[in-house]
Structure 1
Amino acid sequence: MKKKLLGFSLLVGLTVLAACGKDDVNDGSDVEVLPLNVELTVPEKAEVGETVKMEAFVTYGDEKVDDADQVKYEIWEEGKKDDSVMIESVNEKNGVYSAETTFEHDGLYTIQVHVDAKQLHSMPLKEVIIGHGSHANAEHDDDHGEENGEHEHGHTDGFVLHFMKPENAVTTEPTQLVTHLQMEGQPFEHAAVRYEVSSEVLGDKHEWIDAEESVAGEYTAAATFDKAGSYTVKVHVKDDHDLHEHEEYTFDVK
């Protein structure tokens, strides 16, 4: 009798373990990756010295995202991307992240929000005319109407490239080079991304570094600089459909 009870107990235990294992497999296979949507709201025009409010409404599928890892606003004047400034956002809850800024003189400015959430990255942008704008703005409206807001990031419609300029690069220590790519507001995956590094301290030598796609639309590589100085990084992007984009950035190594 004891042997029968022992055998029955073992059978029940194995059945329970098998069921648990099956449930674990199903849980992993049923995970659905949803799109990270960011709706950026900024005024089309504002006056010099006027407070400009920026809002980003962040959703993951139908869910309002209140726990984004990071939401920052990047602002630059037309033709001065290297002089951009970053502004931290305030979490207003219900998926809304806001910030405020003012502008000191007339011009055409780009406002881009960088959102990291759910292991995804999104970076929509819009333009705002301050005061009377600029002469370049008039030419932009006449010749590039359909490229509004994205002409500085590439010539392919819907393509956006953002290089995370290193802020604390020092000699002999690895520096992470990170680029985010999007196409039509979604992560641009499976691209071939290379960093071309040059500097006066390197002479005529150009170093080429292949990047890896760590997460969807994010391409990273590590670079070590032996000498201090000002460096230029040109980001080259290609895909299997004749896309070829490149943008150039400068930063200092101490």
Structure 2
Amino acid sequence: MSGQVRWFMPVIILLLTMVGCSNEEQSQGTEPLEMIKVQLMVPDEVSIKEDVALQMKLTQGDRPVDDADHVQFQVWNEENEPAAPAADKGMMSPEDLEAQGAITAASAGDGIYEANYTFEEAGVYVVQVHVTAGSMHAMPRTKVTVVSGEAAAQ
């Protein structure tokens, strides 16, 4: 029996060495994914009934991303924030966002996505973009003040 153990131990050591080396080679070949970066480009102030281009720039590392899975702008008056999804539901789907009035943005190239929007009433609005690119999701927001035509002229 001891002869079998002596023969079997070198085989196990050889197998462990081969497995360890192959895992090391794989881990060296894969780089960690860089996070996506979303830069909102929305004016701070607009006039009522003015057609506004809501824009954002999407990059990963220092490269523009033109093939995001979903980019949608959601706009609401800050006094009427939409209800958040239930905790057990998780992130809202693009279809759920669209049902709440979100606008799908189109790629303009060089990582820029845009959608047009017209504000119908004066007030302070929240503009939030929902971006999904691969396995990453970002949803930054900013505020826009909408003023009447007379206030904008002054």
TM-score category of the 2 structures, normalised to the smaller one = 0.5 to 0.7
Shift of the alpha carbon at 1:25? 4.9
TM-score by length of structure 1 reads 0.41
Give the match for residue 119 of structure 2. Answer: 103
Residues 1:88 and 2:112 aligned together: no
User: Which protein is richer in strand relative to its size?
Assistant: 1
User: Which protein is richer in helix relative to its size?
Assistant: 2
Higher relative contact order structure (alpha carbons within 8 Å, sequence separation ≥ 6): 2
Give the match for residue 169 of structure 1. Answer: none
Matched residue count = 112
Give the match for residue 68 of structure 1. Answer: 68
Q: How does 1:12-161 map to 2 (within 5 A)?
A: 22=22, 25-29=24-28, 30-82=30-82, 85-131=101-147
Q: Deviations over 1:51-103 (max 9, x none)?
A: 11111100011111111111000110012112863000011121111011001
CA distance in 1, matches of 2:81, 2:74: 10
SS of the residue aligned with 1:79? helix
SS of the residue aligned with 1:82? coil
SS of the residue aligned with 1:26? helix
| Aligned AA (2:75) | I
The question of whether the paired residues in 2 share the 8 Å contact of 1:76 and 1:85 is answered with no
Runs of 4+ with >6 A deviation: none
Structure with larger Rg: 2
SS of the residue aligned with 2:82? helix
| Aligned AA (2:101) | V
CA distance in 2, matches of 1:81, 1:98: 22
CA RMSD of aligned residues (A): 2.0
Structure 2 unaligned regions, length at least 5: 1-17, 84-99, 149-154
TM-score by length of structure 2 reads 0.66
CA distance in 2, matches of 1:68, 1:131: 33
CA distance in 1, matches of 2:27, 2:133: 20
Q: Closer, same or farther in 2 for the Cα pair 1:27/1:68, shift >3 Å?
A: farther
Structure 1 unaligned regions, length at least 5: 1-17, 133-254
The question of whether the paired residues in 2 share the 8 Å contact of 1:77 and 1:108 is answered with yes
Give the match for residue 218 of structure 1. Answer: none
Shift of the alpha carbon at 1:124? 1.0
